[in-house]
Amino acid sequence: MSITTIEGALRADNARFCLVVARWNSFVVESLEKGAIDALLRHGASESDLTIVRVPGAFEMPVAIERLATQGGYDAIIALGAVIRGGTPHFDYVAGECVKGMAQVSLKHGLPVAFGVLTVDTIEQAIERAGTKAGNKGAEAAMSALEMVNLLRQID
């Protein structure tokens, strides 16, 4: 008897992706967006397979993602943004509701929603995660989306 293993490949074979990109903290988010696009293109996506939807901030992402998922046409959605902790509880509310909303959409629609939203304490941490010391979390989210699209295709 052998164990069956199912895993998704890192290929963009005939897959369409929507990047939902927050405008807040754009100095960081632009790097996440570039990293995600580069990763998708390097793994076989074409520019015509990609759509970018811009939202004001992370809190607004779930409603946009819900609408996109309802309309269909995408194999995965990649959320990109940055929530940086300040001196008030605002960070906790925004980050928590953003994650919760995206997870609900993903489960409701059976659609991969890759989480490329930085939730960090400092601007320095955000910059590190957008392409310097800690890699590019936008590219990592894109790779996660690629893998999940192919994994779900294998399961189906």
Q: Which positions are catalytic?
A: 90
60 annotated to bind ligand? yes
* DSSP one-letter code for 15: -
* Residue 119: partners with Cβ closer than 8 Å, 6 or more residues away: 83, 91, 95
What is the distance between the alpha carbons of residues 68 and 53, in angstroms, rounded to a whole number? Answer: 9
- Ramachandran region, residue 60 (left: φ > 0; alpha: ψ -120 to 50; beta: rest): alpha
Could you give the CA distance from residue 108 to residue 69 in angstroms, rounded to a whole number?
9
- Has 77 been labeled as part of a binding site? no
91 is in an annotated binding site: no
Rg (CA), the chain: 15
Tell me whether residue 24 is annotated as binding: yes
Tokens of 47: 């520019």
Q: Is 27 annotated as a binding residue?
A: no
* Cβ–Cβ under 8 Å, residues 133 and 31: no
Q: Is 65 annotated as a binding residue?
A: no
Is 17 annotated among the ligand-binding residues? no
For residue 30, say whether it is annotated as part of any ligand binding site. Answer: no
Residue 21 is assigned to a ligand binding site: no
**Ligand-binding site membership of 79 (annotated):** no
CB contact at 8 A, 97 and 59: yes
Annotated binding site for (2S)-2-hydroxy-3-oxobutyl phosphate: 87-88, 129
Annotated binding site: 24, 58-60, 82-84, 87-88, 115, 129
Annotated binding site for 5-amino-6-(D-ribitylamino)uracil: 24, 58-60, 82-84, 115
